[in-house]
Amino acid sequence: MAPKIAPLSTTFFLASIIGFLVSVFYIPQVSQTWAFAFALLFFLMFIAAIISMFKARVGPQLKFK
């Protein structure tokens, strides 16, 4: 059975990039452990957005007639 890949929004993609950058540059001043955890989370979100960009089907509302 093939996996079902959902199309993710560009806001999700942008949030993953901004969240990763904030996690790498600002959070380590507070806690190294939390910085690593957040950076890992946002990196995984980024990978999910990349997979969605290439593999997800175009929804019926986006198809041209």
Instruction: State the Cα–Cα distance between residues 12 and 28, nearest whole angstrom.
Output: 23
Residue 3's Cβ-count burial label (10 Å; 0-12, 13-18, 19+) is exposed
- Distance (Å, rounded) from C-alpha 23 to C-alpha 38? 6
Digit-coded pLDDT (tens) for 2-53: 777 777 888 999 999 999 999 999 999 999 999 999 999 999 999 999 988 8
pTM of the entire predicted model: 0.79
3-state class percentages of the chain: helix first, strand second, coil last, to nearest 5? 70, 0, 30
